[in-house]
Structure 1
């Protein structure tokens, strides 16, 4: 199935679940991995407004466990330039109890499959902070190539860190998945 993998599937987030997503933003580690702004809380209203925005240039999916249908995170394709067939991808496993179990990789595989095979995109890109080592390992395992760095882009706890740009081309994705 297009948006399904071994343990997870991608689908909509229900209106009643926006409060749960908002709760994830209370976890400092998650927030600091997602963006460069100072640590803050996202309200349920702000989450809902973001989720419902940019419907013609973004695809937002909740990540759910197949066995329980529990919402554990989200993955987003956005910033799509249809004439260039390029887009951005981002992911968050909000449930910290599910970190490190491979669900992020499964969700990214589903979303990349959707991006390249359903939307016919040519290139997917993302940025990641240099201190987010789990994400960097994930992106390498998925076949992304590090294309450059914004040096000392972010300061956290008195130290400067780079922000890396990673990209994945459709032919690279196909090559990896035809050989496996």
Structure 2
């Protein structure tokens, strides 16, 4: 029996982070525009030492996975994806993605990377439900999530304060049966 080569897509593959990736990862964590779309916490620079510690913590945790997103043709690191807050007894997890390489945005890499991560979650981790949060101003991400089958399930009104304005945070989710139905089309 030939098993599927999980974590490999047409243009990308997902790997672990390597020591030599830290300088690129650090540049993303020093890009405030990236951070304001990627995370809900205050956008502040993070050093390589802090990122190394964060990666170590994730690798040692039992409720989180992190992957480096790489382009196949040149092995270039362009993003990060993974799961956090995995509740094994319920089969649920929060998924995340960020394409840190600005030149790689808008080319379908985010869609492919997120689809690979979802496939890993449903097929390898045996998850029943994958969910995520997105800020209302992040329209490209919202479009991506809906294209991949996520359903908007709720809104935290005026959740985040950025640039003297309040923005909603949307809650999205997809069930295994919905993902299977979409994958088999």
TM-score, normalising length: structure 2: 0.94
Shift of 1:38: 2.5
Aligned length: 179
Q: What's the counterpart of residue 140 of structure 2?
A: 134
Aligned alpha-carbon RMSD (Å): 1.0
Shift of 1:48: 1.4
Shift of 1:37: 2.5
Q: What's the counterpart of residue 125 of structure 1?
A: 131
Instruction: State which of 20, 27, 30 in structure 1 corresponds to 2:31.
Output: 27
Correspondence 1:161-180 to 2 at 5 A: 161-179=167-185
Q: What's the counterpart of residue 37 of structure 1?
A: 41
Gaps of 5+ in 1: none
Secondary structure, aligned partner of 1:76: strand
Gaps of 5+ in 2: none
Secondary structure, aligned partner of 2:44: coil
For the residues of structure 2 that align with 1:163 and 1:51, how far apart are their CA atoms? 26
Tell me the alpha carbon deviations over residues 18-49 of structure 1, each in whole angstroms, 9 at most, x when there is no partner. Answer: 12101112222211012233321011111111
TM-score, normalising length: structure 1: 0.96
Q: What's the counterpart of residue 109 of structure 2?
A: 103
Deviates more, 1:28-37 or 1:163-172: 28-37
Q: What's the counterpart of residue 16 of structure 2?
A: 12
**Off by >6 Å, runs of 4+ in structure 1:** none
